[in-house]
Amino acid sequence: MKLMISLALVLLIFWPLSARALDHDNLDPNRPIQMEDAYAIPQGEIGLESGVRVNDRRKGKTQFIFQPQIIYGAFRNTQIEIQSDIFTEPHTVRGSNKSGDLHLGVLYNFNTETLTLPAFAVRLEADFPTGVRSKGVDTQMTGILTRSFGRLRFHVNAGYTVLGSPQDRERDGTYRLVAAVSYPIGYPHRFRETLIVDVYTRQSDLVHQRNNTGIEIGVRHQLSSRIVLDGGLGTEFVGPSDRSVITGTVGLSVGF
């Protein structure tokens, strides 16, 4: 967490504030729901993103997650990310990404979509054990497809996570599948909001439990050329006894 704050201050102080735009139609994970599209932010652009997520579980206390993140368009079609989620009730967190872990990620877009091919990207991620009850380095690989039909866009995310050091009854690996659609609300007369809806299923963090399966809906609003607000809601209708009754997210993204 201290590392992220220091990096953010350095970027804010020394990076020239050019008139770069942050696009509300460029979808990142957890901003405001878990799906993402296949496109990286433009080369040279910096995004500072933060959100608060509420997870009201069927079993256990309601959980709050603070999600600060730095995104940098390091190269053409490539973005790198630094993140460290902070959870309330940190000792109850299972699976990868424990509270306070240092998260590093790289997304590379292989192609823009054509008349016959969807856009395709791959994300590689690692969670380092700097957090509460965290052991081993967890890694994840995700394939991302985006295909447009007019202004309606379809997205598919398929990922697999490997835990470096599973604890108690944690699985040593889990898969995740997400299918989503996004659409600019009010287009063509207005182009400041994007609506996103997804359905997902992922393996439970503990063995011998059902997949967490649910639905989410979110909106991203372009407040200015550099600022995007987001909000989302979700629920899990299948899963283990501590699955989410409702999740809610509010966030802010600022581009430089």
Residues of the chain with pLDDT under 50: 2-20
C-alpha distances out from residue 162 to 127, 142, 165, 212, Å: 10, 12, 9, 17
Name 212's bridge partners. 202
Residue that has been written with the tokens 């990142």 in this structure:
28
Q: pLDDT value at position 21?
A: 56
Residue that has been written with the tokens 């009850």 in this structure:
133
Q: pLDDT value at position 26?
A: 85
Q: pLDDT value at position 11?
A: 41
Helices (H), the chain: 2-14
The string of pLDDT tens digits covering residues 165-212 is: 999 899 999 999 999 999 999 877 888 999 999 999 999 999 999 999
Name 22's bridge partners. none
Count Cβ atoms below 10 Å from residue 185 Cβ, excluding itself. 13
Domains by residue range for the chain, with CATH: 2-255 (2.40.160.40)
Q: Provide DSSP, 9-49.
A: HHHHHHS--------TTS-BTTBSSS---S-PPPTT-EEEE
Q: pLDDT value at position 15?
A: 42
Q: How far is CA 91 from the centre of its chain?
A: 22
Q: Is the pTM of this model over 0.75?
A: yes
The string of pLDDT tens digits covering residues 42-66 is: 999 999 999 999 999 998 899 999 9
Instruction: Give the separation between CA 195 and CA 184, rounded to whole angstroms.
Output: 6
Helix (H) or strand (E) segment spanning residue 183: strand 173-185
